[in-house]
Amino acid sequence: MPQPDTSIPPARPTRLQRFLDRLEQAGNKLPDPAMIFVLALGLTFVASLLLAAVEFNEPDPRLDVRDATGQLISSSPVKVKNMLNGENFTSFITKMVKTFTDFPPLGVVLVAMLGVAVAEHAGFIQVGIKYLLKFTPRRLLTPALVLVAILSHSAGDTGYVLVIPLGGVVFAAAGRHPVAGIAAAFAGVSGGFSASFLPSAVDPLLQGFTQSAAHIIDPARAVNPLCNWYFMSASCALIIAAAWLLTDRFIEPRLRHLPVDGDAVDGDLHALSAAERRGFWACLGAFGLFTALLVLAVLPETSPLRDKDGLLTSHDAPLMAAIVPLIAIFFLVPGIVHGYVSGVFKSHRDVVQGMSKAMGGMGYYLVMAFFAAQFTYVFRESNLGALIAIKGANGLQALALPGAVTIVGIIGLSMIVNLLIGSASAKWALLGPVFVPMLMQLGYSPELTQAAYRIGDSSTNIITPLLPYFPLIVVYCQRYAKTTGMGTLISTMLPYSVVFTVLWTGLLLAWWGLGLPLGLQSSYTP
């Protein structure tokens, strides 16, 4: 495979580069990622034991009881559960298998990989990359990749298993460092998670919590599911530009020290054979036919793929629930067609072999996912995350800071909580009933509060090992650079996290200052 150009001697490292190098070295000395989750699990057990006897005064908004008008009837303080007592520990043990099999990223990764594996084994993905390299200038690969990463937000979490590994393959084929491609794609998929030109299932999911929280103050207050759409669409340009500049000018030059495995990408990813061309155009025809059938299936307002209100993008719509298997089929069918037309596949056994080969390489991820699932369960059930979030929100309210500073504080607290709780909806279910009423009483709208939360929720995804997909990204990097560890990935992604936070926060404050609408039926006042 083409190797990154290392003929130019590296410039004298800056203070920032030296800091990131030390961070990488320290991070790579940490235990194996699986053991990090084991240690975190043990610490959570001990913390739950010590804090279970402490009585806290902060009310848990999830336990509030309200009447039809939204008036508070009763509330209960947040309480940490001792996960080491007989009942809770027994529940942990008996649910261990179910906790693992129900771990959200597990099904997404394995099901989507079945289809992707066939497409890759058939050569469909490699041929697609050849066409991409043929028509996309090398200097525009980064923004093109980040754009695709952002568009993947409409398909839920499938960007983690489709776009991010694609980033490594595309950069390697172009003679660039593949880990830089993975980093750029990871930044677009996860660091810019809330930025999207297209509506996604996240919009109505967060809106539901926001509207319920707003009803605490005003039972008649309505929040549109696309109340942040204009701002988040504009945010795409910012994320693409920032990721492009960082990747090409800073991240990739810094990765020169990371050796690349020359056998990581097989074959010449530039020349196209006649068989590959025939297979590619045949599979595009299959892809188009399948797409047309899906469109015809969702067009009727009574389609079973729509929700009860006839919507396609709500989190209750069967279409959204079927995104992962649909993605698998979208790669499986064209992959099979390409394999047979191009001559790569001779029988159905080649299809099964492609699936088996991909599953065989997922062993390391499965080990990490098992321990990550157990830690997530104990941390959630112990209420430690809720305690941290509620205390932080109450502390922020007690400071009584000016409006702009309060919004920055909301972003900062959301970032901190995001380092501990990965799910965007779980965090907002916890923080929304605190943040939204608090800011409404200060004169700020639910739409503005939600936009601030979404910035904080996205920016630190890429630097927390507790992100469920973080171990998977390490595995992607190790395909090309076997010495990659947690420290390597964190130090690589930290500049994206910092720059995204600063620029995105600045954009929100400027947007607010100019009085531009955040989205449909949005406002800045309660």
Tokens of 297: 């299936």
User: What per-residue confidence (pLDDT) applies to 361?
Assistant: 66
pLDDT of residue 8: 45
pLDDT for the residue 264: 55
Domain boundaries, the chain: 15-67+75-514
The CA distance from 213 to 451, in Å, is 15
Tens-digit pLDDT string for the chain (526 aa): 445 454 445 456 677 777 777 766 776 676 766 787 788 889 989 999 999 988 888 777 777 777 666 666 777 888 899 999 989 999 999 999 998 888 766 776 677 778 877 887 887 777 776 676 677 787 888 998 998 888 777 656 667 877 888 889 888 888 889 999 999 999 999 888 888 887 666 777 788 778 877 876 777 888 887 889 899 999 999 999 999 999 999 999 988 878 887 655 554 545 677 888 888 888 888 888 888 988 898 888 888 888 877 777 665 678 767 777 887 887 788 888 888 888 888 888 888 888 887 777 677 778 877 887 888 788 878 888 777 767 776 777 777 777 788 899 889 988 888 887 666 666 776 677 778 877 887 788 999 999 999 999 888 889 888 787 888 898 899 889 888 888 888 889 999 999 999 999 999 999 999 999 998 888 898 8
Distances (CA, A) of 306 to 157, 244, 300: 20, 37, 9
Residue with tokens 């930025």: 195
Nearest of 225, 221, 224 to residue 70 by alpha carbon? 221
Of 269, 264, 188, which is closest to residue 484 (Cα–Cα)? 264
Q: Say what the pLDDT of residue 30 is.
A: 66
Query: What's the pLDDT score for residue 319?
Result: 79
**Among candidates 54, 57, 48, which has minimal Cα distance to 75?**
57
Question: Residue 378's closest CA among 96, 79, 83, 87?
Answer: 83
Q: Which residues contact 147 (CB under 8 A, 6 or more apart)?
A: 188, 236, 240
C-alpha neighbours within 13 Å on the C-beta side of residue 337: 20
pTM of the model: 0.68
CA distance 318 to 314: 9
Q: What contacts 390, CB < 8 A, 6 or more positions away?
A: 58, 59, 60, 61, 78, 430, 434
Sequence-distant (6+) residues with CB within 8 A of 355 are 114, 117, 118
Question: Do you know the residue count of the chain?
Answer: 526
Q: Tokens in use for 391?
A: 């205390």
Label the pairing between strands 72-74 and 65-66: antiparallel
pLDDT at 500 (0 to 100):
95
Query: CA-CA distance, 248 to 192, in Å (whole number)?
Result: 18
Instruction: Please compute Rg for the chain using Cα positions.
Output: 24
DSSP-H helix ranges across 156-201? 159-173, 178-186
Only one residue has tokens 């009310």, namely 59
pLDDT given at position 6: 46
